[in-house]
Amino acid sequence: MWPELFDRLKSEQDGVLSRKVVGVAGDVLISPDLGLSLADKELLCRDVSIVYHGAATIRFDEPLKRAVMLNTRGTRQMLELAKEMPKLEAKDFSVASSSCISPESRSCDSVTGVIDKAITNKEQDPNESNGKFN
């Protein structure tokens, strides 16, 4: 679906992608600043009006610490960066899947603390899925 969508956009709106969409190299596992170069960070903060963040892992056999870093801390760092974007009009932070068995709501800070504690207090069984906490 996506290649066809972009092919159509390229053919119908010549030059829109090259003027409006700019890719930057980064890595959500690198702190701080998502592994962005200073020039790319300045470009994003100065010019970006729409953020679409989709960096995540949906592999349930991913080591738990890596999955947490990719799926929670990377998103949090992107939100912090978005706060520095004065032209920001829209943002979309997508998740591939979500499951909650807890009836009460919690802030991400409390959940992050629980996850950090789980990571540091338990070695993950290689046969265990990290898609759930018991």
Residue boundaries of the structural domains of the chain: 18-96+106-121
Q: What is the pLDDT of residues 14-61, one digit of tens each?
A: 777 777 777 788 888 877 788 899 999 999 999 988 887 777 788 878
Peptide bond before residue 126 is cis, with ω within 30 degrees of 0: no
What average pLDDT score do residues 105-124 get? 60
User: Would the pLDDT of 134 be above 50?
Assistant: no
Contacts of 51 (CB under 8 A, 6+ apart): 78, 82, 85, 88, 90, 91, 92, 93
Could you tell me if residue 7 is left (phi over 0), alpha (psi between -120 and 50 degrees) or otherwise beta?
alpha
Pair 7, 52: CB distance under 8 Å = no
User: Would the pLDDT of 96 be above 60?
Assistant: no
Q: What is the pLDDT of residues 67-87, one digit of tens each?
A: 888 888 888 888 889 999 999
Supply φ then ψ for residue 102, to 5 degrees.
-90, 125
